[in-house]
Structure 1
């Protein structure tokens, strides 16, 4: 029998190693420091603050490519700092791990741009250096510009990208779970044996997209396989998530839209032979919280003045694969079948109370955010969160940054105490790895019901 869903919220700070993440232009705000995204101090300070608030993780988005769908070029994205320029998020983790003890790190990395053999070593390294606090957000990529940068003519078709992902996962599970036996690395100074060679096995994977013949280069890390996030909500993405994901990042402009996605994910996990609540559903959300509702509304109005319209439309054009420069601000956003993020197109055109106009994408609204926007006092925001949890069966939120660092400070200093007073959020960290913290009844390794565990010797 499936266990009942927990209602202690899971909360991540949703970040990106770029000047702007989901809200283009806010780096211009006089109190904002996002332009310092390329400095280690920026990330170390953020990690300290997030851990002070007992957040479960810092979830770092990434995109491989540049947003050049809008007007057929990258000018708007570059001028606005809209997810460009960008850094490799894996390089940030060690610095944040060094100044914290408990908080987890969800790192987005596209498997379409890598090979399982090199990828396995890189993420094993990070899981070692964080003492088991690493998660991998599995994505397949959606920007044609990234494919061209790698010398390809174009992206593979949407569903084929998940075929590639299945092959990648089959190879990497063998490297993480099956190459090194437990106890292979003994560090025996008396005998002079560091590892028992007979317990380290070569992988022989010949898949339709990847070939791997060799032993994993890194010894097993605390979790072996890092906690597995996934961020695709198309029908094919949900099928993939049901097999592999332990936590899913979703969007949805209404509770009903989010509930539909969550149900599909849990059904997919059940179909894969897993407990549907072995998969956490984390909803993106923008939070603007202040001591009073009036102050929060004033902050919203203040932040709004710094949004970059062209940069915002460049982001949405990239997410949807539709060139929004061809539409007027009062034109209704049309549905189109594209090779980009299918769930975003669905949410914006079919899962809203009424079809949005292009200008609706340029404001702090559920349409503009593609997800809820919670604005108000700590009590107001907590009420809104509780409503979405009850209506959508979600497990928590990825909290999108606005003006930094004050948006994260407000969440930690104002919202978290309110949630704790209501019994909705933890008052201390559990011990153990990221997987053990998020799933207290389990262990630090993949559970036996997960397909990756079948590769373990």
Structure 2
């Protein structure tokens, strides 16, 4: 009996800002991203993505600013390199009300979010969306954020993950363990809304957090939102193995991506889970048109508006190195920072030979994600090649010119994938977690967080 071919999962990758990944394209005359601060921009996008049967809209976020390149924010402000940036969580209620199935992955930095009120925000959004919320767990990497939040400098990389492990434990105690499944009865005649004996006070006294109190929300559909994470350092992988249900990868070639996929799945197995308990997504840019020639022309048009320097400035913050201080052909020197460890290692690894000129070439479209350019058949071939050759489950599609990039993909690529039996033709019912895994609304019994449930 043959195994059915894997269905492609898709998230639109966006941010509550003008410039996200492919920088400079806000200047394109058809781009509408400068409307990011209006509800209509987001509700229209959500409805468009639901028409395309996208699994989710994943919204990135940062605290702080990109001030490493040149030691200032001048280019960051001129090109809107994720500045200004608004809160992603506040978008969900409006988008959830204007859609029925689309789910929402939201980024929040746990280093600066006390777990007790944050648990309430997560439960509230899960209630209002009827179980369509995920949380992208980040620990931060910007010194500018640390200074803005009252610290002298960024917490050391591995130490941030130590804090994150304990943070998640506090959240599980609140979201999974404070209210029993049968706590809420809503008995009007007996005047009992919730049974006191089935609501438990959380008492946590650890190295980083002291929390004593009841979770403020009754159980939402998923209790704990779907957990996303993007760390690929050794410490990040250990964290992902224990906590993550979806992991984002930044792939540049299939062999390296396949190795990343195997490492993540191995980390899950090492934590007592199954390899398929984690879904893996790769960031990707797609430029598609009805014919290959038209796609090449569109790509050339987009390149004329993109800012490679803005892309390098973004990367400069990611690695914590002022790349503007290097000559065009001067090799980037190894150094230690507390930024994104995996990105830094790729930049300064032995024999890679990265220079600012090569980085500018890599960021020609304003970002460094792999770009697929072609007609619908060519793009579908490439997408399925990545899935079948690497073991990925799906993609985070970065925006270029908004909203036409998503409209083009929906109108041209989705039907091609559907005709090959590799993409759904209708949404399944259920929560975000159930749509992804088909195992119900709650954390799987193998997941570390499940041990905190009340009996």
Q: Same fold (TM over 0.5)?
A: yes
| Alignment of 1:383 onto 2:384 | no
Q: CA deviation at 1:36?
A: 0.7
Change (3 A) 1:133 1:397: same
| Alignment of 1:444 onto 2:448 | no
Q: Is the 8 A contact 1:20 1:81 kept in 2?
A: yes
Residues 275-305 of structure 1 deviation map (CA, whole Å, 9 limit, x = unaligned): 0111011000011111111111111111111
Q: How many residues align?
A: 452
Extract unaligned runs of 5+ from structure 2: none
State the partner residue of 2:420: 422
State the partner residue of 2:232: 233
Distance 1:6 1:452 in 2: 31
Q: CA deviation at 1:332?
A: 3.8
State the partner residue of 2:451: 454
Q: Is the 8 A contact 1:5 1:277 kept in 2?
A: no
Structure 1 window deviating more from structure 2 (155-164 vs 256-265): it is 256-265
Query: What aligned pairs does 1:349-388 form with structure 2 within 5 A after superposition?
Result: 349-350=348-349, 355-363=353-361, 369-388=367-386
Q: Is the 8 A contact 1:297 1:375 kept in 2?
A: yes
Q: CA deviation at 1:343?
A: 1.4
Q: CA deviation at 1:398?
A: 0.3
* Two-structure CA RMSD over aligned residues (Å): 1.7
Q: Is the 8 A contact 1:356 1:367 kept in 2?
A: no
Query: What aligned pairs does 1:31-180 form with structure 2 within 5 A after superposition?
Result: 31-180=30-179
Q: Is the 8 A contact 1:348 1:367 kept in 2?
A: no
Q: Which TM-score applies when normalising by structure 1?
A: 0.96
Q: CA deviation at 1:354?
A: 5.3
Which one of 417, 420, 434 corresponds to residue 432 of structure 2? Answer: 434
Distance 1:325 1:25 in 2: 18
Distance 1:170 1:439 in 2: 23
Q: Is the 8 A contact 2:111 2:160 kept in 1?
A: yes
Residues 65-88 of structure 1 deviation map (CA, whole Å, 9 limit, x = unaligned): 100011111111111100110001
Q: CA deviation at 1:175?
A: 0.1
Q: Is the 8 A contact 1:366 1:373 kept in 2?
A: no
Change (3 A) 1:369 1:348: farther
Distance 1:6 1:346 in 2: 35
State the partner residue of 1:200: 199
SS of structure 1 residue aligned to 2:305: coil
Distance 1:221 1:364 in 2: 44
Q: Is the 8 A contact 1:253 1:366 kept in 2?
A: no
Distance 1:368 1:355 in 2: 21
Residues 343-380 of structure 1 deviation map (CA, whole Å, 9 limit, x = unaligned): 122334549x9534323433566997443211111111
| Alignment of 1:209 onto 2:208 | yes
State the partner residue of 1:310: 309
Q: CA deviation at 1:391?
A: 2.1
Q: Is the 8 A contact 1:230 1:241 kept in 2?
A: yes
Residues 282-340 of structure 1 deviation map (CA, whole Å, 9 limit, x = unaligned): 00001111111111111111111112243222201011111110123333444433211
State the partner residue of 1:403: 401
Residues 38-89 of structure 1 deviation map (CA, whole Å, 9 limit, x = unaligned): 1100000000000000000000011111000111111111111001100010
Distance 2:40 2:361 in 1: 31
Q: Is the 8 A contact 2:66 2:314 kept in 1?
A: yes
